[in-house]
């Protein structure tokens, strides 16, 4: 039996408690917060046989924990993950993995030194549509990729950035790219691997209580094809889409497929047979046993037990941070940025990022919390 501790007691912690509670072989024994009030409320709400704590180390020792889930503001991810791993705990950390590449490297090194597993929450990899898309692309079923476009569009209202840690480079470590579109950037890496370079621009269009971006564009070069990425917090429809133009077909996630064949003059005609064949291959792919957080955390527990490989590693979490830092650096410098970033690149370090990034606005309103922990997940993410 794995004894699990949750560090943080907000909305994401609730999702993690539900996921861990659904997995045989593990039990949530403690919840830790800045004070005891929120952890106690979460424990009562979920009917857990657990105790509230305000000190993580005390919780680990008294409850004999071997698994820690970090559900804290981004600026605290590296610190608390490292402290837990040094006490011998396996750690799964919410996104973003850390505030900078060098912090990610430190986390990976500590995990290796202490012989524990480190994973970063990337729950959308554990959904059937993205698992199937990856297989279709890698098998060549659609032919060579010619071009791609990903739109990660969300909407957040005026009070979203009132929370004390949001909307600052110091505490949230970025805007829509770090907190929302990191999901789609991670899926881009999951489906296509690491790009060669990026041209990016970030801006703030509508959120006056945030230093950080609420809108961004990035053009990634994969060598054989380009990928246009749009990130936004100002789309009321919260439209999210991944589109792939390939030799034999084009397809979208959410799932839709298009097939054309050429008339004698080169104009298109619907290729119904090709579309049906493509859909048949898609539908023949096996479903996932578990999806979302439950799917990822189940894999995490089974990997600890040596029953299967760890699907999302610390290195995976690091790569998406490097991609985001590349977009930031490109925007500030007004030039294309190549991957990997150089070892002495200022954007590998928190200090360099804080010194370089513009403050689109100065944060003036701060609250400790909201009346509700309810969150809505646009487009199923």
List pLDDT tens digits, range 59-70.
Answer: 999 999 999 999
Q: Is the peptide bond before 338 cis (omega within 30 degrees of 0)?
A: no
Q: Is the peptide bond before 96 cis (omega within 30 degrees of 0)?
A: yes
Of 110, 34, 162, 74, give the one whose Cα is nearest residue 350.
Answer: 74
Q: Is the pLDDT assigned to residue 312 strictly greater than 80?
A: yes
What's residue 381's pLDDT? 55
What's residue 158's pLDDT? 82
How far, in Å, are 166, 238, 368 from residue 155 at the CA level?
Answer: 15, 6, 22
Per-residue pLDDT of 164-216, as tens digits, reads: 999 999 999 999 999 999 999 999 999 999 999 999 999 999 999 999 999 99
What burial class does residue 191 get, using C-beta atoms within 10 Å of its C-beta: 0-12 exposed, 13-18 middle, 19+ buried? buried
Sign of CA dihedral 338, 342, 345, 347: positive
Per-residue pLDDT of 9-45, as tens digits, reads: 999 999 999 999 999 999 999 999 999 999 999 999 9
Span 344-349, mean pLDDT? 98
Span 112-141, mean pLDDT? 96
What's residue 371's pLDDT? 62
What's residue 372's pLDDT? 61
Task: Identify the residue whose tokens are 């493509």.
Answer: 278
DSSP 283-296: HHSPPPSS-HHHHH
Per-residue pLDDT of 76-106, as tens digits, reads: 999 999 999 999 999 999 999 999 999 999 9
Q: Is the pLDDT assigned to residue 377 strictly greater than 90?
A: no
What burial class does residue 1 get, using C-beta atoms within 10 Å of its C-beta: 0-12 exposed, 13-18 middle, 19+ buried? exposed
What's residue 369's pLDDT? 75
């Amino acid at each position: 039996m794995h004894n699990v501790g949750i560090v943080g007691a907000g909305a994401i912690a609730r999702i993690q408690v539900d996921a861990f509670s659904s997995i045989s072989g593990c039990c949530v024994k403690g919840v830790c917060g800045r004070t005891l009030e929120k952890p106690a409320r979460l424990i009562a709400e979920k009917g857990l046989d657990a105790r509230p704590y305000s000190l993580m180390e005390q919780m680990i020792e008294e409850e004999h924990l071997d698994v820690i889930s970090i559900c804290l503001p981004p600026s605290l991810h590296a610190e608390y993950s490292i402290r837990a791993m040094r006490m011998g705990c396996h750690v799964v950390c919410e996104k973003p993995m850390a505030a900078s590449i060098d912090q990610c490297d430190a986390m990976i090194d500590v995990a290796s030194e202490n012989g524990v597993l480190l994973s970063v929450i990337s729950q959308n990899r554990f959904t059937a549509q993205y698992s199937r898309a990856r297989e279709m692309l890698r098998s060549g079923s659609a032919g060579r990729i010619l071009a791609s476009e990903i739109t990660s569009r969300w909407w957040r209202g005026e009070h979203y950035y009132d929370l004390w840690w949001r909307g600052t480079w110091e505490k949230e470590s970025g805007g829509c790219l770090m907190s929302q579109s990191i999901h789609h950037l991670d899926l881009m890496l999951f489906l296509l691997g690491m790009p060669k370079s990026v041209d990016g621009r970030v801006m703030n269009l509508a959120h006056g209580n945030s230093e950080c971006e609420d809108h961004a564009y990035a053009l990634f070069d994969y060598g054989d094809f380009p990928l246009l990425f749009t990130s936004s917090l100002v789309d009321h429809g919260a439209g999210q889409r991944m589109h792939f133009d390939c030799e034999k077909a084009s397809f979208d996630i959410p799932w839709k497929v298009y097939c054309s064949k050429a008339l004698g003059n080169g104009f298109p005609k619907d290729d119904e047979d090709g579309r049906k064949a493509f859909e048949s291959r898609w539908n023949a792919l096996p479903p996932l046993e578990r999806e979302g957080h439950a799917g990822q955390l189940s894999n995490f527990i089974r990997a600890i037990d040596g029953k299967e490989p760890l699907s999302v590693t610390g290195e995976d979490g690091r790569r998406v941070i490097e991609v985001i830092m590349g977009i930031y650096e490109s925007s500030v410098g007004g030039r294309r940025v190549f991957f990997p970033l150089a070892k002495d690149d200022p954007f590998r370090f928190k200090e360099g990022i804080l010194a370089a990034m513009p403050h689109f606005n100065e944060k003036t309103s701060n609250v400790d919390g909201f009346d509700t922990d309810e969150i809505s997940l646009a487009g199923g993410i």
